[in-house]
Structure 1
Amino acid sequence: MTAGCSKVEEISDYSEIPEPADSLSVNEPANTDADFDDSCYIYNQLSDKEKEYYDIIRDAALNFEDKAVFPEALDPELLRKLYISVYYQEEELFWLSSMFYRPASESDSLILSYRFTKEESAQLQAEIDAETADIFSSFDENTSDYEKLKCFHDRLVLNCTFSMDTDYANTIYGALCDGYAQCEGYAFAFDYLCRLADIDCFTVSGTNSDGALHAWNVVKLDGMWYNVDCTWDDPILDPVDEDFVRYYYFLAADSDISGVTHFPDNTYYSYPICSSDENYYKREGYYASSADEGVTLLANAAADALKCGSKNAAVRFSDEKAYKDAVTKLFDFGGIKQVIKFANDSSDVKVTDKKYVRYLNDDELIIHITMIYE
């Protein structure tokens, strides 16, 4: 499980950064009505004045201006909120630096800095456009939003490697084109693709269970919100397996991860409740309510994988007893050999029944196997 992410860094005249204020609205409270427009979910929690100032920062960054200038002096903590909002929600501004220059007192301007020049950004954008065009070329009018989301997820997992050591690691360019990114890059890229597909999505910043900074996505599908974490579905394996893809954190409910492995930063915003259990495994038919059903479904998943040229198969269980009983049947009593035999009998391509790799996710009750071709 990979972790670690950058954050918006602050340069300040203070020896200590003060804690966020209890209320940061300008003139009016933020919109907390659950019925507000779900598009631009974070933006729509800002007050009208805050939206105006958000737009000023965004437009200044879009034009590579040295500073954003406001019609009145603003509190430094409000400026921080606005800058963080723009940074995490305007992922297409990949040239905008994570550096926040905090003024010592109220100020009517905010210094902006950039990762790349305007000319460099234009060149990188051309590569991004070519990559996204290639991704979207596989879609037609019958492609569902679910299929698009799965495509975006798989593309990032299979074509990007977790890394903190490049100039592009926190950008959509890093995840889509350079092939190396950390969690911000993965999340920004997934968000970017969703926006191009007119699917409501946004990036969430927070921490993992170890307190390390992390970023992931919340996306709306069929009227329900779900968590997606492409970074954690792309673990660093030893030895490296470039064909490995999993779906532990694809369309996950809050009950699966929130407050367990993922802890969103609620300093400035509230987030939609992700309560649906229509996760990847249910949608694909790999969700079992008993051990015997799980073994059968794993065999089907293995056969389906070989037919598609993959080698990964997984099944999720509805309860811990069914999961543990299936683990025993498969790996203590030899049921895995029958699973692999069924897959081999169903495919022209064969895998060995002498060797395989297993992954057990005790938190989400998932059994995952990676088969090895003969």
Structure 2
Amino acid sequence: MGKKLLTIILCIVCVGCLGLSWRYIKKSGIMKKYPDAVYLTTDEKNMRPIYRQLTTKEKSVYTALYRGISEKKEKIPLPYEVDGKTYSRIYCILEKQESEFYYLDSVYYTAQKVREAKIAYRDMTRPHQKEQDLEGALEAFMSDVDDLTNDESKARYINDFIVRKCSYITGDDSEFASTIYGCLVRGEANCEGYAKAFNYLAAKLGLESVVITGTTDKGENHAWNQVNIDGEWYNIDVTWADTDKVGEMRQMYFLCSDVEFSKTHYADDSLFTPFPCVSNKWNYYVKNGLYADSYEKAEEIVRRELSKGNGTIEIRFANSDVYVDFREHFITEENVFKVLDETGYEYGNEVTFSLKENEQELCLTMLFTE
């Protein structure tokens, strides 16, 4: 009798333990069915150069996040369990590169191990209206793209459109300052908002582009872009192109090689490897014949532009020696006025000459006004 009672008690205990174990297993998600690994389509992949740098496993996690966030899911099961460091890296890449996700919050959740992503979204009012506003901004952008014949003209159109559309604000002065909504709809953004807007519009025109984060030569956090033009990568900084003055735009940060750009921009490579930018073919100054590698070339540029009646002449110099030589002989020694007379530049009784210098960027702008 005692043995039977003991057996019954043990059975009850075992059943109870099994019940507790099953509840634990269900709660922990051990038996939960997770999705199979899937990947972006060929067309999607072709427009996402950073995605192509990821491992196969990382690509499947990226894709799961991309699909889930597109549907605004708050919990997204991942095809693999990943450590927190890997998850954070993938999420941060996606948050910067998928510019259309303006509704993501600026914070994100992580843990030591992540099998189900928890996503934080902005607490937005009138979300459907915001979507319509963004569609309207995109429609305005796309209304003048039919005459864009090559990659450089597309990059130029995007750059100029954003500069005309947006005003720079510092930090997080606006809820959407770091998003395409802030830049393209509200017309105010910080550098991240500018860079994401360029990224977003570039994709609409079929250009490969990435958002680069890093610091400036002054140690300030900054964001800009790299864009693929005719198979070669270039740096571009739309934020620094914007002077916030009507009709005025800086050209020195448009389609630059690393040689020029690295003087003031230091890219962060902790999330992915930025692309080497070695060509200057489509640089603004090279393309427009405003790049001088000698004193003689600089004077030739001035004579040519004055002969055409241009009162504003901007030149970029190949190195500091040429820059200093030109400034000393042409400006300080006032040879500029001799050239002014010899070229027959049309002006009244008086002409005022003024100079804007950016020695760090080796750029010099001459202005002739009556």
TM range (shorter): 0.7 to 0.9
**RCO higher in 1 or 2 (8 Å CA, sep ≥ 6)?**
1
Q: Counterpart in 2 of 1:106?
A: 113
Q: Counterpart in 1 of 2:158?
A: 152
Secondary structure of 1:263 counterpart = strand
1:359 paired with 2:356, answer yes
**How far, CA to CA, are the matches of 2:176 and 2:309 in structure 1?**
33
Report matched runs for 1:175-324 at 5 Å. Answer: 175-235=183-243, 241-258=245-262, 260-278=263-281, 279-298=283-302, 300-301=304-305, 313-324=313-324
**How far, CA to CA, are the matches of 2:265 and 2:107 in structure 1?**
24
Report percent identity of matched pairs: 28
Q: Deviations over 1:129-170 (max 9, x none)?
A: 333333332232562221121121122223322103112210
Q: Counterpart in 2 of 1:17?
A: none
Would you say the 8 A contact 1:245–1:312 is kept in 2?
Answer: no
Secondary structure of 2:184 counterpart = helix
Shift of 1:339: 7.3
Secondary structure of 1:85 counterpart = helix
**How far, CA to CA, are the matches of 1:338 and 1:332 in structure 2?**
13
Equivalent AA in structure 2 for residue 252 of structure 1: C
Question: Greater Rg, structure 1 or structure 2?
Answer: 2
Q: After the TM superposition, which segments of 4 or more aligned residues of structure 1 sit over 6 Å from their partners?
A: 302-305, 338-344
Equivalent AA in structure 2 for residue 265 of structure 1: D
**How far, CA to CA, are the matches of 2:209 and 2:84 in structure 1?**
28
Secondary structure of 1:102 counterpart = coil
Gaps of 5+ in 1: 1-36
Instruction: Please say which of residues 146-155 and 193-202 is displaced more in the overlay.
Output: 146-155
1:134 paired with 2:140, answer yes
Shift of 1:220: 0.8
Judged with a 3 Å threshold, the aligned counterparts in structure 2 of structure 1 residues 346 and 58 are, in CA distance, closer, same or farther, namely: farther
Judged with a 3 Å threshold, the aligned counterparts in structure 2 of structure 1 residues 276 and 72 are, in CA distance, closer, same or farther, namely: closer
Q: Find the partner of 1:168 among 142, 152, 176.
A: 176
Shift of 1:256: 1.3
Higher helix share: 2
Shift of 1:205: 1.3
Judged with a 3 Å threshold, the aligned counterparts in structure 2 of structure 1 residues 369 and 131 are, in CA distance, closer, same or farther, namely: farther
Would you say the 8 A contact 1:158–1:244 is kept in 2?
Answer: no
Gaps of 5+ in 2: 1-44
**How far, CA to CA, are the matches of 1:201 and 1:277 in structure 2?**
17
- How many residues are matched? 323
Q: What TM-score does the superposition give when structure 2 sets the normalisation length?
A: 0.77
Q: What TM-score does the superposition give when structure 1 sets the normalisation length?
A: 0.77
